[in-house]
Structure 1
Amino acid sequence: MEDKGAFSFSTCWNMKRHTTGDGLLREIRGLGFRRVELNYNVTEEMLGAIEPMIERGEIGISSVHNTFPHIPDPDYGTDSVLLGFEDREKRQRAIQLLVRSAEYAQRYGGEAVVVHPGEVPFPNDIAKELEQLYSGEGKDSTAYRSKWAELLERREAYSAGYVRTITESLYEVCDQAAAKGLEGIRFGIETRSRPQQIPTLAEAKRIIRALKGAPVGIWYDTGHAIMMDRLGLYDSVREMDGLMNDIVGVHIHETIGLSDHWCPYVNSGDMHFYDAYLPMIERAQVKVYELKAACRPEEIHESHRLLAAKLAARGAL
């Protein structure tokens, strides 16, 4: 099996197929990956079988995805206000959980923690409504433009306050992480998959600049950025100006329409579109494939072959 080198692979691909941690990681190791990203669905029970594999050197850990290990409370799940909670007690809990994720990352020899910072809460599922209109009536339809204006009005009214709170929370996280001797771990604030979620690329710049000198950068999720670009939230390529030196890691996957986590190049059949994201992948400290269960092993191998060849042609490998 071809060794995938420094590339890592997220456990989101096969989480639903396994109940034990060793089975989970051995399947990924069988694809040729020597490193994995442990995602937010990995439980403490699974770690009982994973930790001996790490200690024996059978697998390396590139990163963990906050909140890690799994927390069943939706207040601290992947789609929540998290570091932006106005409630001080809830926010402190979110801060402590992120520091805990960093402790696990360091314990396992990882380099980074993937962070979902928060969102502007909406009373309705506006992301789903926009996706339905985008797919059914089109981005230029009156219904889509009206719903998009509704999103922007509320987002623009409240986002600055949430960005400030998230920045303050990350400052506390970094302060506590330093006190615990976790200096080698970086925090990557991830580009998200729903338009009400923080950060946009402009918001990422504000947060990172405000925390200059702290181990905080952007985790550039390519598929999510493509989705936000298509919906109209930001330009996923041009707005990376000024952020290239702040890329902690990348999630490598392609989006077909608004369906994400597909193998780049292979599932879309487009041999050129994803090339625009190669510079971000090239600059990232941690490079992680984050693919859905529908991606077959042969598609994963072919996608990696194409991606690696394109990076090599750029002199990046």
Structure 2
Amino acid sequence: MYTSKGEYSFSTCWNIKRHPNDGAAMIEEIKELGFQKVELNYNVTKEMLQTIEPMIERGEIGVSSVHNTFPHTPDPDYGTDSVLLGFDDETKRKKAIDLLVGSAEYAHRYGAKAVVVHPGEVPFAYNIDEELKGIYHEQGKDSPAYQKLWSEMLERRESLAATYLERIQHSLEEVCDRVLSKGYDVAFGIETRSRCYQMPTLSEAKTVRERMKGAPVYLWYDIGHGMMMDRMGLYHNAEEANAMKEDIIGVHIHETLGLSDHWCPYVHSGDMEFFDRFLDIIDHAPVKVYELKAACQPHEIDESHKLLLSKIAARHAGSTRGV
């Protein structure tokens, strides 16, 4: 059993594949890491909730956030990598709205602060992101092949982004109207994504925030995804994210090695400085969630958290001395 992780939460994405039929065992394993809060991710099923909900009701575990679509929806049209709130097809868009309202109902029931939302994407005929990453690894970002395909991707993305962003915004407005009418005090965090054609970029998230002032719609900042998109060339991650600190409802804490994400900060990269640029965001975020892959071992998770806390504490001490 590791020491308490306090206000920090932990996503079930770490161990859900080890416990596909036993929600309680999954939660117990996370509690052994020292976490008193979890984020229930989009692969948690209704069957798993039958053993998780009694633990929530007894106060054995808290829920910081749920990840849309929740609980698990097997239809890939409404999975994590789809057009979702931006569907052209009105029937599909309405169903995506219904599913997000359903996720908010669970969040409200469990006392969670936020719903993590993958809002949508600019659709392509194939997974151009996968091809770009392949070229990135084999030939490099500066290679003619990468630059050519990147330009093609960016041209289509930029020509269609405004249309899809507006549709996403309208969908979020409908969701907020329905959720607020029910009296649910739940925020929606639109998450920075891991594929270059997915939405939102940080500037797209800012646009939605500005258009929806007063609505409970914020940025959910996934640090590792932002690192990937910066490396691929989509936006200036750390600079833009720090400028949006007040717009962030929650963070997914993990580090990216090259274009491989969900590693423990500091521990797996061996770099004791690069991740520091995200510490102010983590410190300020109302909801703080580690989102790590199964390869991360308990002692690595604990070491990473201790490093992160010590660095944040040092920043506080430094700012106090400066007064």
Give the shorter-chain TM-score range: over 0.9
Q: How does 1:247-286 map to 2 (within 5 A)?
A: 247-286=248-287
CA distance in 2: counterparts of 1:66 and 1:236, whole angstroms: 24
Letter in 1 for 2:56: I
Q: Which amino acid counterpart does residue 47 of structure 2 have in structure 1? A: E
Q: Deviations over 1:221-267 (max 9, x none)?
A: 00000000000000001223542111000000000000000000000
Confirm or deny: 8 A CA contact 2:219 2:247 kept in the other structure.
yes
Give the 3 Å change call, closer, same or farther, for CA 278–290 of structure 1 in structure 2. same
Question: What is the aligned partner in structure 2 of residue 243 from structure 1?
Answer: 244
Residue type matched to 2:6 in 1?
A: G
| Whole-angstrom distance in 2 between the partners of 1:255 and 1:109 | 31
Partner amino acid for 1:136? E
Structure 2: 5+ residue stretches without partners: 318-323
Corresponding residue for residue 154 of structure 1: 156
How far off is 1:279 after superposition? 1.5
Return the alpha-carbon distance in structure 1 between the equivalents of residues 139 and 292 of structure 2: 28
RMSD over equivalenced CA pairs, Å: 0.9
In structure 1, runs of 5+ residues without a counterpart are none
2:302 corresponds in structure 1 to 301
Q: Give, in whole Å, the separation in 1 of the partners of 2:150 and 2:141.
A: 9
The residue type equivalent to 2:276 in the other structure is D
Supply the distance in 1 between the matched residues of 2:295 and 2:160 (Cα, whole angstroms): 37
Counterpart Cα distance in 2 of 1:129 and 1:4: 39
State the partner residue of 1:53.
Answer: 55
Deviations 1:103-128 (A, max 9, x none): 10010011000000000010121010
- In structure 1, the partner of 2:17 is 16
Match of 1:122 in 2: 124
Please list the CA deviations of residues 16-49 of structure 1 after superposition, one character each: whole Å capped at 9, or x if unmatched: 0002110010000000000000000000000000
**Corresponding residue SS for 1:314:** helix
TM-score, length-normalised on structure 1?
A: 0.98
Superposition map of 1:60-75 within 5 A? 60-75=62-77
Alignment size in residue pairs: 315
1:77 aligned residue: 79
Q: Which runs of 4+ in 1 moved over 4 A?
A: none
Higher mean alpha-carbon deviation, 238-247 vs 299-308, is at 238-247
- Alpha-carbon distance in 1 for matches of 2:293, 2:248: 23
Cα distance in structure 1, aligned partners of 2:244 and 2:224: 17
Residue identity matched to 1:91: R
Q: CA deviation at 1:312?
A: 1.3
